[in-house]
Amino acid sequence: MPSNERVRILVVDDEEIVRESLAGWLDKDGYLVEQAADGRSALARLGAQPFSILISDLKMPEMDGLALQAEARKLQPSLAVVIMTAYATVDTAVTAMKQGAFDYLVKPFDPEELSMMMQKIVAQQELVRENAVLRKALRKEHQLQDLASKAPAMQAVFELARTAARSSSTILILGESGAGKEVLARAIHAESPRAAGPFVEVSCAALTESLLESELFGHEKGSFTGAMARHKGKFEAAHQGTLFLDEVGDVGPKLQLDLLRVLEERRFHRIGGNEIVEVDVRIVAATNRDLQKAVASGAFREDLFYRLNVIPIRLPPLRDRREDIPLLMEHFLERLSAELGRPVDGVTPEAMNALVAHPWPGNVRELRNVLERGAVVARGPVIELADLGLELPGPTRGDAPRPGVATAPDQSLDEVERRHIIAVLAHTGFNVSQSARVLGVDRVTLYSKMRRYGLKRDGDDEPTTAPPR
Q: Per rule CB under 8 A, is residue 87 in the interface with another protein? A: no
Crossing angle of the two packed helices 39-48 and 65-75, in degrees rounded to 10 = 10
Query: Cβ closer to another protein: 109 or 453?
Result: 109
CB 364 within 8 A of CB 443: no
In terms of CB distance, is 84 or 422 closer to another protein? 84
Q: Which of 7, 18, 255, 383 binds another protein (CB under 8 A)?
A: 18
* Interface pattern 106-135 for another protein (x via CB under 8 A): -xxxxxx-xxx-------------------
Residues 6+ apart with CB under 8 A from 102: 53, 80, 81, 82, 117, 121
Cα 321 to Cα 67: distance, rounded to the nearest angstrom: 57
Burial of 166 (0-12, 13-18, 19+ CB in 10 A): exposed
Kindly state whether residue 21 participates in binding another protein, applying the rule CB under 8 A: yes
**Are 54 and 81 contacting, i.e. CB atoms less than 8 angstroms apart?**
yes
Among 24, 47, 343, 381, binds another protein (CB under 8 A): 24
For the bound state, the minimum distance from the C-beta of residue 62 to another protein, rounded and expressed in Å, comes to 22
Site membership for another protein, residue 22 (CB under 8 A) = yes
- Strands (E) across 352-468 are located at 382-383
Measured from the CB of residue 110, what is the shortest distance to another protein in angstroms?
5
Contact (Cβ atoms closer than 8 angstroms) between residue 436 and residue 468: no
Binding window for another protein (CB under 8 A); candidates: 19-27, 192-200, 249-257, 364-372? 19-27
Residues in the chain: 469
Select 105 or 185, whichever has its Cβ closest to another protein.
105
Nearest to another protein of 5, 339 (CB atom) = 5
**Cβ of residue 28: shortest distance to another protein, in angstroms?**
5
C-beta closer to another protein: residue 129 or 373: 129
6 binds another protein (CB under 8 A): no
Whole-number Å distance between alpha carbons of 351 and 346? 9
Give the separation between CA 212 and CA 342, rounded to whole angstroms: 42
**227 phi and psi angles, rounded to 5 deg:** -85, 80
Residue type, 228: M
Nearer Cβ to another protein, position 30 or 253?
30
CA-to-CA distance for 73 and 43, rounded, in angstroms?
Answer: 10
* Residue 116 or 340 with smaller CB distance to another protein: 116
According to the binding rule CB under 8 A, does residue 8 interact with another protein? no
In the complex, what is the shortest distance from the CB of residue 268 to another protein, in angstroms, rounded to a whole number? 51
Binders of another protein among 366-385, rule CB under 8 A? none
Does 99 contact another protein by CB under 8 A?
no
Nearer to another protein, 77 or 87 (CB): 87
- Candidates 16-24, 43-51, 230-238, 333-341: pick the segment binding another protein (CB under 8 A): 16-24
Contacts with 148 (C-beta within 8 Å, 6 or more apart), sequence order: 324, 327, 328, 331
Supply φ then ψ for residue 81, to 5 degrees: -110, 130
Residues at the site binding another protein, with contacts judged by CB under 8 A? 1, 3-4, 15, 17-18, 20-25, 27-30, 84, 107-112, 114-116
